[in-house]
Structures are given as structure tokens and as C-alpha cells.
Amino acid sequence: MENKEITVTSPLLPSLEDFIPMLKDIWDRKWLTNNGHYHKELEKALAEYLGVEYLSLFTNGTLPLITALQAMRVTGEVITTPYSFVATTHSIWWNGLKPVFVDVEEETGNINPEKIEAAITPHTTAIMPVHVYGTPCNMKRIQEIADIYGLKIIYDAAHAFGVKKDGVSVLKAGDMSTLSFHATKVYNTIEGGALICHDAATKKRIDYLKNFGFAGETTVVAPGINSKMDEIRAAYGLLNLKQVDSAIAKRKSIAEKYREALKDMPGIRFLHDIEGVRHNYAYFPIFIDEAIYGMSRDALYEKLKEYNIYGRRYFYPLISTFSAYKGLDSANPANLPVAHKLANQVLCLPMFANLNDADIDRIITVVANKG
């Protein structure tokens, strides 16, 4: 078996021949950052592609989460999921707020709406759900709960670029949504992100907050931070946007090949497409039942590495087990049995647009034969 290295993901790269003229144009304009030409063009193009009206670009995917909580003036406690990347909960902590963990759905990994109400206290002001692996949360039920208790909803949609439910972007749900454009994502600007809101006044506040709070040359209206995207990454993003649909189509084909090969394998479970959802196939997680499969998740993870195949235990460990959060009452493992189960079973197989059939066969062979 060929031993070429295969990682869990590989960035979508634009054509260098197309990028160089844009770099020259940036140099000629001598405008490298601060809401330049390409920044404006990318905000406009992304809003149109994603089907949203108000989108603000950021220099990474964490700062939109932090800024969203600031812009919504969230206080007290924020209900969220332990089954996510640490940036979700870190953004709450950086705002001086208290994260409150609730368990997740086994079939999706998303926050379980039926666990939310029991976690609400007089100090709860917001919910921060995550569209895990790009699979939409139960947005209807979460909104119903938020409306009853007067809570804000900020969706961490880092994985959900281009995802739609019944023809409508998931980014329209809640009060705000955030995106990550990290190099490992379906769509990337090397590093980058965005914050989506639903009205012009809120976008203006967001744009003040991401530029130190400046509302003019000498006027500062809020204690903002510096989280602007530069012109080089904005230009790169414009080129990548032209090929993202093709990349998603290729990812879908890869997911179908994995599913066909693994569908009858005892002890292996994977996620299925949901009717009415336009998925983006951000990741391909499998969940391993050691008792049936005959090998633990960690043993398979190490076995794949022997063949130069690098999967990812994503999300493991749970955020609630990290030292900063494990002392919270809501972090008690007894309250989070499904999240712990998923974290101990999950292994994301390599998934990127340029993954070829030979490499897919290599991966499947190791999983099927356990090495």
C-alpha cells in the first residue's frame, strides 16, 4: 500500500496565476488594510453568495464570537455545548461571562434543545449553539425557547459555510451567526472569519467594535478591538469563492464513497444527509463502538497513523473537561453523558476536495481491515 501522507484536511487554494495580478493591484493601490477595495468587494460577494444582508469580515473566526457577545451586550450566563472547538467557550470566558453546558443530540452532535430549559436561571441572557460539522441545529425549537425566556441566540456557524435548510441560509437564524475562514475550512481566506447580523444599525456597531471603537477620525464610541481583515486575505478570499461550489460537490462525492464503503461495517456509525438541507460536507466523522468494532477509537487513530493517514478526534476532549471549565457545576460528566460518549467515539476521516480515489481506498482499507 502506498505510504503517502494523508491529513484530515487540506486547504482550498486559488490559482497563483490569478492571485499575483491582485497582489500587484494591492501594491499599486498602497492600501493594505482598513476597509480597502478588496475587503469591500469580499463582504459584498459573501453576503450575496450566503444569502444574507449584513456581513462583517474579521481577521479570524474567534474574534466574531467575542464581538457578537459584546455587540449584543450579553451579561451573566450563556448556555452552550461542550461538544465544540474551544473557541466557542473561550469567547464567553473572555467576555467575563459564565458558560453553562448542556448535553447534545447523539444523532447530530448538536446542542439538545430539550436540555436547554432546565439550564436557564435568572442570570441566563443568551444561548450559543454550534452547527456541529455543518449540520444545522434544531433552530426552530431553540428560537421558541429563546422567545419564551427573552434570550439572545448567537450561532457558532464556523462549520456551516453555505449550508441551507429548506432553501434558506442557516445564517439567518437567531440574532447573529459567526463563520470561520481558517485554512482547514470548506471556504478559507487563510485565516479569517465573519459575523452576520440582521440590520444596518447592528452592523455599524460591529464595524466600530472591530476597529478599536472608532466612529470617525477622532471619535471612539466603544472599547473595541482590532480584528480587521487585510486586503491580501480579502483578495485571496474572492478567488476562493469562485471555486467553493466545485469543492463542495467534490466533498459530497467523497462522503458518498465513504458511506457506501462503511455502511455495513459493524461498530461504525456516521452522519447522514438531512432531507431539505444543503450540506457542505465540512467533515466526515465516524463513531466507533469498540465492543462491536473490535478496536477502540484511539487504537484505530494510531493504526491509521502507521499508514501515514492522519485523522482527527474532533471533538475530543470535551471543552467541559479542560482545567478552565471542569469546576463548573454544568461540567459534571453526569450531566453530559451523550457528549462524553461522542467525544470518546469520534474520529474524523480525511475530507478535502482534492482527496483522490486511491487515497480514499487506502483509508477505507485500513478502517475495514483494522490495519
Strand partners, 57: 194
Asked whether the beta carbons of 26 and 225 are under 8 A apart, the reply is no
Give the whole-angstrom CA distance, residue 32 versus residue 358: 42
Kindly state the average pLDDT of the residues 301-319. Answer: 97
Cell of 229: 481583515
Res. 362 pLDDT band, cuts 50 70 90? very high
Give the whole-angstrom CA distance, residue 77 versus residue 126: 7
Asked whether the beta carbons of 8 and 310 are under 8 A apart, the reply is yes
What burial class does residue 350 get, using C-beta atoms within 10 Å of its C-beta: 0-12 exposed, 13-18 middle, 19+ buried? buried
Mean of all residue pLDDT scores within the chain: 97
pLDDT of amino acid 306: 96
Query: Which tens digit of pLDDT belongs to each residue from 333-344?
Result: 999 999 999 999
pLDDT of amino acid 11: 87
Is the model's pLDDT at 361 over the cut of 90? yes
Q: Where do the domains of the chain lie, and which CATH numbers do they carry?
A: 16-241 (3.40.640.10), 244-369 (3.90.1150.10)
Give the whole-angstrom CA distance, residue 231 versus residue 30: 10
Cell of 108: 447530530
Instruction: Quote the DSSP letter at residue 312.
Output: B
Query: Which tens digit of pLDDT belongs to each residue from 137-151?
Result: 999 999 999 999 999
For strands 168-169 and 284-288, give the pairing.
unpaired
Q: Give the start-end residues of each E strand in the chain.
A: 54-58, 77-80, 98-101, 124-128, 152-156, 164-165, 168-169, 176-180, 193-197, 268-270, 277-278, 284-288, 346-349
Is the model's pLDDT at 371 over the cut of 70? no
> Around Cβ 1, how many Cβ atoms within 10 Å?
10
By percentage, how much of the chain surpasses pLDDT 90?
97
Residue of 80, 83, 132 whose CA lies nearest to 316? 83
Cell of 365: 482499507
DSSP, residue by residue, 222-260: S---B-PPPHHHHHHHHHHHTTHHHHHHHHHHHHHHHHH
Asked whether the beta carbons of 55 and 195 are under 8 A apart, the reply is yes
Asked whether the beta carbons of 297 and 344 are under 8 A apart, the reply is yes
Asked whether the beta carbons of 226 and 34 are under 8 A apart, the reply is no
Res. 1 pLDDT band, cuts 50 70 90? low
Res. 38 pLDDT band, cuts 50 70 90? very high
Is the model's pLDDT at 310 over the cut of 80? yes
By percentage, how much of the chain surpasses pLDDT 70?
99
Res. 2 pLDDT band, cuts 50 70 90? low
Instruction: Quote the DSSP letter at residue 11.
Output: -
Query: Which tens digit of pLDDT belongs to each residue from 253-309?
Result: 999 999 999 999 999 999 999 999 999 999 999 999 999 999 999 999 999 999 999
Is the model's pLDDT at 33 over the cut of 90? yes
